[in-house]
Amino acid sequence: MNKALVYLAILATLGFGIYFFIFRVNDNPFGASEAGFTIKDTASVGKVYIVANDGEGITIERRAGGWSLNGKYKALPSMVDLILGTLATQSALSPVTKNAYTNAVKLLSTDAIKVEVYKKDGGKICTFYVGGASVNGMGANMLMEHAQTPYVVQIAGFNGDLTPRYSTRIKDWRDRTVFDVPAEAIKSISVQYLDKMINSFVLARDNKGYTIKGDPAITENMGPLNTNRANFYMNYFANVNCEGYMNGLDGMDTVIQKAVKRCTIDLETVNGPVQHADIYWLPINKRSKNKQTANPDVPDDYDSDRMYAIINGNKDTVLIQTNTFRKILRGAFEFFQKDEVRQQHVETPRNVIMRR
């Protein structure tokens, strides 16, 4: 009986030890010093620095108005959420296998991505290195700073390489906002078309209501201004984004020089600043949908789904989607038409005359 109690005590002690080691020591069985890749309290994270061996890197930092990128841009919220989510859920599965060890160490020493994570008060949380996909392709090889053993790091429920989440390219991290101004902050909108100037207009608003300037054939002969449409239109300039940045691409300057400008957009706020965008047609290419089926609203020489835009004081060239900007690129005549559908659908009135 006494022996049985002794055995039970030993088993209990071993069981507690195993539980504590596997489940309680930093929630990973390898210990934080070697494999502490998980940062559950991402609310405490104030800065993340990610840099490649070639020196290309980014720094995102938490500020009062949101996350900044490299101290001068607004960071893309979805990328910030992705990296914080990755830090919170990634964990070490096991040390790399003996067969994979040599190659993993080689890549970690020559082509790794360095990641430094800091608290809001500036104190460093951790530094680790990302060395590419694991042999099984289900995670990434990572190495903690000053550690000897690289580990396969995965996210439960996600089967794939984690390396792309640690991008060092600025264009992947930059916020893609072209316009983001609430209706009440807009003083005037000017859209000037170069190909069909009769569609150009300047829609302005003051405490007396709306005024519109344009070709007299439109503004003086089509009846009263449809204030309902004007109201809806002012709301179209919130959360207008581009698809991506084209800065730095080989030959991009030449492409823009040869591109045909479609129009200009100027948004003046009640506080004074004017946001300007130049919109260019994107030449038709093998991926253009209208190469096979013509689009009546787009000349046959141009892509029907995308255009170029130059924004931010001519500093950035971006790719924009036609579907995103279609609601903005209206013609003057549309502000004098009667609503053809119920109010909640006014944002997509059909063009019945003067197609652009």
Query: Can you tell me which residue has the tokens 């720094």?
Result: 59
110 touches 87 (CB < 8 A) = no
Averaged pLDDT, 210-227: 94
The model's confidence at residue 293, banded by pLDDT at 50, 70 and 90, is confident
Q: How far apart are CA 282 and CA 303, in angstroms?
A: 6
What average pLDDT does the segment 15-34 reach? 46
Question: What are the tens digits of pLDDT across the range 141-163?
Answer: 999 999 989 999 999 999 999 99
Q: What share of the chain is helix, strand, coil (3-state, %, to 5)?
A: 30, 35, 35
- Integer-rounded Cα radius of gyration of the chain: 28
Nearest to 200 by CA among 219, 184, 181: 219
Pairing, β 244-245 against β 316-321 = antiparallel
Assess contact for 86 and 160: CB atoms under 8 A.
no
* Integer Cα distance of 207 and 192 in angstroms: 25
37-90 pLDDT, tens digit per residue, is: 999 999 999 999 999 999 999 999 999 989 999 999 999 999 999 999 999 999
The whole-angstrom separation of Cα 129 and Cα 112 is 6
The strand ranges marked E within the chain are 45-51, 57-63, 66-69, 73-74, 90-95, 113-119, 124-133, 140-144, 151-155, 177-179, 186-193, 201-206, 209-214, 240-241, 244-245, 261-269, 274-283, 302-311, 316-321
Distances (CA, A) of 233 to 87, 96, 99, 102: 41, 57, 62, 61
pLDDT number for residue 36: 92
What is the pLDDT, as a whole number, of residue 352? 34
Please state, in angstroms and rounded to a whole number, the distance separating the CA atoms of residues 129 and 228: 56
- CB contact at 8 A, 348 and 342: no
In the predicted structure, residue 356 carries a pLDDT above the cut 50: no
Q: What is the pLDDT of residue 343?
A: 42
Containing 33, the helix (H) or strand (E) segment is helix 32-35
Helix (H, G, I), strand (E, B) or coil at 7: helix
State the residue for tokens 């893309």: 76
Check if the beta carbon of residue 256 is closer than 8 Å to that of residue 310.
yes
pLDDT at res. 286: 85
CB 129 within 8 A of CB 142: yes
Longest dimension (CA), the chain: 107
Q: Is 17's pLDDT higher than 50?
A: no
For the segment 182-200, the average pLDDT, to the nearest whole number, is 96
Give every CB contact of residue 11 below 8 A, 6+ residues apart in sequence: none
| The pLDDT of residue 4 | 54
20-37 average pLDDT score: 55
pLDDT at 240: 97
Give the pLDDT score at 169.
Answer: 95
* pLDDT grade for 339, boundaries at 50, 70 and 90: confident
The two tokens of residue 261 are: 């400008």
Instruction: Say whether 256 sits in a helix, a strand or coil.
Output: helix
| pLDDT of res. 46 | 98
Q: Measured between alpha carbons, how far is 173 from 74 in angstroms, rounded to an integer?
A: 9
Confidence class for position 171, pLDDT limits 50, 70, 90: very high
pLDDT at 7: 52
> Mean pLDDT of all residues in the chain?
87
